[in-house]
Chains A and B, each alone.
Chain A
Amino acid sequence: SQKIEQNSEALNIQEGKTATLTCNYTNYSPAYLQWYRQDPGRGPVFLLLIRENEKEKRKERLKVTFDTTLKQSLFHITASQPADSATYLCALEGTNTGKLIFGQGTTLQVKP
């Protein structure tokens, strides 16, 4: 069956460290993968998109990798800050559907 898996356990890290969140998928062959941030009581906000031919993409303190062999994307936040505390969602194309399928999200807590 098709699955997108993000770590359901919250990730707690110390301010200044690098946070790494994982998105694994099975039985999909996405051409694109997206990452969103969601704060409590708010809608998701788009952060980054990475295409299958882009191994890595960066935006300020954010870095995303996309390994189509491992069927995995990693999302890194360097020099993390308490303001980075949120839930992070990955999303990819459902095979031949043209529609986004979302993971359940991982909650990141950055402690000062």
Chain B
Amino acid sequence: NAGVTQTPKFQVLKTGQSMTLQCAQDMNHNSMYWYRQDPGMGLRLIYYSASEGTTDKGEVPNGYNVSRLNKREFSLRLESAAPSQTSVYFCASSEVGTLIDQPQHFGDGTRLSIL
């Protein structure tokens, strides 16, 4: 069972470069999320998609864009990477809308370093 798959697992970028983090889930979940995790900060929501065709900002959206390509895939794009975006990025999905009583299923993260 693949669950939530994130690519790449590791990436090093130079300041100003752009890249797209990919996420796909095979659980037929409606909702998908992008978080970043920094030491001592916990997981912070960047963007989420309650259902196919919709996206909305989370707590820390600046510097990022997202695309809900279809029900399975939700990508996160850094248009002009900055050192402050060095972090571990997690994608997650959950079953029904934005009902937070549903557990979220996480991928294993993308470790991104911006030099």
Contacts and interface: CB of A to CB of B under 8 A. Distances in A.
Interface of A: 4, 8, 31-32, 34, 41-46, 49, 51, 89, 91, 93, 98-100, 102-105
Contact of A49 (B90, B103, B107): B103
A104 B41 contact: yes
B114 interface: no
Contacts of A103: 42
8 contacts: A43-B90, A43-B108, A44-B43, A44-B104, A89-B43, A99-B45, A100-B104, A102-B42
Interface residues of B, number: 23
Contacts of A99: 45, 48, 58, 98, 100
A46 B4 CA distance: 13
Interface in B42-71: 42-45, 48, 58
Given A8-B40, A99-B48, A43 B107 contact: yes
Contacts of B107: 43
B106 interface: yes
Given A43-B107, A51-B101, 20 more contacts: A8-B40, A31-B101, A32-B101, A42-B109, A43-B106, A44-B104, A44-B106, A45-B106, A46-B104, A89-B43, A91-B43, A93-B100, A98-B98, A98-B99, A99-B48, A100-B100, A102-B43, A102-B44, A104-B42, A105-B42
